[in-house]
A and B are shown apart, each in its own frame.
Chain A
C-alpha cells in the first residue's frame, strides 16, 4: 500500500482513499479550431509513459475529493512530492 500525502488534508493517507487520474499538466489548446486531427488526437488520446519520474494527477476520492498532482517514480513507486492544482513540481529530474 502506498502512503500518500494529501496537500489539502495536510496529512498522510492510505492508498485506498485515492484514485489515479492520469498524466498531469496537459494544457488545453487555446484555439482548438485551428488544430489538425493529429494535434487534436495527440491532446485527447496520447499520454507519455516514462520510465522514471512522472507527474500525474490523483484524486482523494474517499477524503476531500480534491484532485492534486504527484511526482512519482514509475520504476520504484516512490512518491517524491505531492502538490496542489495550479502549482509546479519541484522535483523534475533536470527536465523542465
Chain B
C-alpha cells in the first residue's frame, strides 16, 4: 500500500490562513462500492441489511449510517456504499456471498472517485456559488444526499451532522475541483487539512 496516491495528493497546499472561512479535507482511501438490486425484493434488502448492519435507504435523496459504513440513495435501485479504508474487498465478498443467486451488481469504485469534506464558517456561501442545487440549510437537512453538479462536474453531495458537506467527486476531475474550490474560496480564505 506504500505506492498509493489519493486523487488529491498532488495539490499545492496554500499557506495556512489564520481565519479560513473554508476548510477542505480529503477523506483518503475510503472504500466506494456501487450496489444495484431490486428494493421491492425482500430477500435482497434483508440480506444487504444483515451484511452491512444498516438497512438500505429507499426514500429518494436519503442516506443511512452505521459506524464507518455510510449508504447513499442514488436512484430507486442503486446505492453508493462508503466503507472504511481497506475493507471494500471484504465487504464486496460478503455481499456477493449473501446475494449469491440474486440479480444484483456490485462495482468497486474506490480508485475512481474520492470523498472530500468541505467545512468552515463560509461553507454555505461556497456551496451557493458552486452548485446549481439549493444547498441552503432550509432545503438541505442533515444526512440528505443529492446527486448534482458542482462547478459543472458531477458530485454526490451529503450534509454532515456538523453542517459540513461531504462530496464524492471523480478522480479525473479532482484537480479541476480543487482549482475551483481554491478560486471560489479566495475571498474567505482556504485551509487544506
**A residues apposed to B, CB below 8 Å:** 8-11, 13-14, 16-17, 62-66
Sample of 11 further A-B pairs with CB below 8 A, known A9-B75, A13-B133, A63-B75: A8-B60, A8-B76, A9-B60, A9-B147, A10-B60, A10-B61, A14-B132, A16-B149, A17-B148, A62-B148, A65-B75
Residues of B within 8 A of A16 (CB): 132, 149
Our pick among A11, A62, A65 for the contact of B61 (Cβ within 8 Å) is: A11
Which residues of the partner chain B approach A65 to less than 8 Å between Cβ atoms? 75
Q: Which residue of chain B is the closest to A6 with respect to CB atoms? A: B60
Bound-state CA distance A69–B132 (Å) is 22
21 contacts between A and B (CB under 8 A): A8-B75, A8-B76, A9-B60, A9-B75, A9-B147, A10-B60, A11-B60, A11-B61, A13-B133, A14-B133, A16-B149, A17-B132, A17-B149, A62-B147, A62-B148, A63-B146, A63-B147, A64-B76, A64-B78, A64-B147, A66-B76
Q: How far is the CA of A11 from the CA of B78 in the complex (A)?
A: 18
Chain A interface, >50% SS class: loop
Separation in Å of the B177 CB from the closest CB of chain A?
A: 15
* CB pair B154 A62 closer than 8 Å: yes
- Residues on the A chain within 8 Å of B147, using CB: 9, 62-64
- Report the Cα distance A64→B145, complex, angstroms: 11
The verdict on B74 contacting chain A, using a C-beta distance below 8 Å, is yes
Whether B60 contacts A66 by the Cβ 8 Å rule is no
B149 touching A64, Cβ below 8 Å: no
Top-3 shortest CB links A-B: A64-B75, A14-B132, A10-B60
* Residues in B neighbouring A11, C-beta threshold 8 A: 60-61
| Pairwise interchain contact B61-A9, C-beta atoms closer than 8 A | yes
Interchain CB contact under 8 A, A13 and B148: yes
